[in-house]
Amino acid sequence: MIEIDGIPVSAPPRTWLDLARELPLKYLIAMGDQLIRIPRPRLEFRSQPHAYKDGLRLLIRQHPNVKGVEKARLALEEMRVGADSFPESFLRLAMRDAHLPEPDLQLRLDPQDRWSPAADLGYRRFRIAIQYDGAHHRTREQQSRDNRRDESFVNAGWSYFKVNADDLDEGFENVIVRIKRAKRRSA
């Protein structure tokens, strides 16, 4: 339990565990990805994740009889730091289900430069970058930043994929076919 304005509420990790009995596995994984991701302090006014995998592992061990604990254990093994949204997690899981290798998350074009453009997911060894564009990418300012990022990857010779809600609605099937094709070309 934590307190917010003097009111006791369930902490995010415990809420995740409690929801394990209700949520489908992929939603539990995506929710868990959000718990363990590194926040952006300028946007979220916090610098630490809501949880760490070791802490969630301990929580699961401390509550062995909670309904859904086995599903939580499975979800924990599939959770990754770096997914900034549920759709990014769903895309990563769809790629896994399509037998693609585990992608890197928040893949920087130049890994040595913290200001280098980054794609949401990708494969450095295949020079494939994938960006999920959600609703916040519709602003003029964000589109300008996105265009510069996109051009950086394309100009560096990467295969670059922009994914959106239409792709999410169809289970990412078409984009996965295109990613597999690009992977074969670069192998």
Q: What is the CATH number of the domain that holds 170?
A: 3.40.960.10
Structure tokens at 98: 């399509």
Domain around 171: 86-186
Q: Is the domain of 96 the same as that of 161?
A: yes
Q: Is the domain of 108 the same as that of 178?
A: yes
Q: Is the domain of 118 the same as that of 176?
A: yes
Run of H or E including 175: helix 173-186
pLDDT tens, residue by residue, 40-66: 888 788 889 999 999 999 999 999 999
CA angle 64, 68, 74 (to 5 degrees): 90
pLDDT tens, residue by residue, 131-150: 998 756 566 776 778 788 88
Q: What is the pLDDT of residue 135?
A: 58
Q: Is the domain of 130 the same as that of 92?
A: yes
CA distances from 12 to 7, 18, 49 (A): 15, 10, 10
Q: Is the domain of 150 the same as that of 175?
A: yes
Q: Is the domain of 67 the same as that of 94?
A: no
Q: What is the pLDDT of residue 138?
A: 66
Q: What is the DSSP string of 86-155?
A: HHHHHHHHHHHHTTPPPPEEEEESSTT-TTS-EEEEEETTTTEEEEE--GGGGSHHHHHHHHHHHHHHHH
Give the three-class secondary structure for 182: helix
pLDDT under 50: residue ranges of the chain: none
Domain total in the chain: 2
Q: Is the domain of 47 the same as that of 112?
A: no
Residues 6+ apart with CB under 8 A from 65: none
Q: Quickly count: other Cβ atoms within 10 Å of residue 41's Cβ.
A: 10
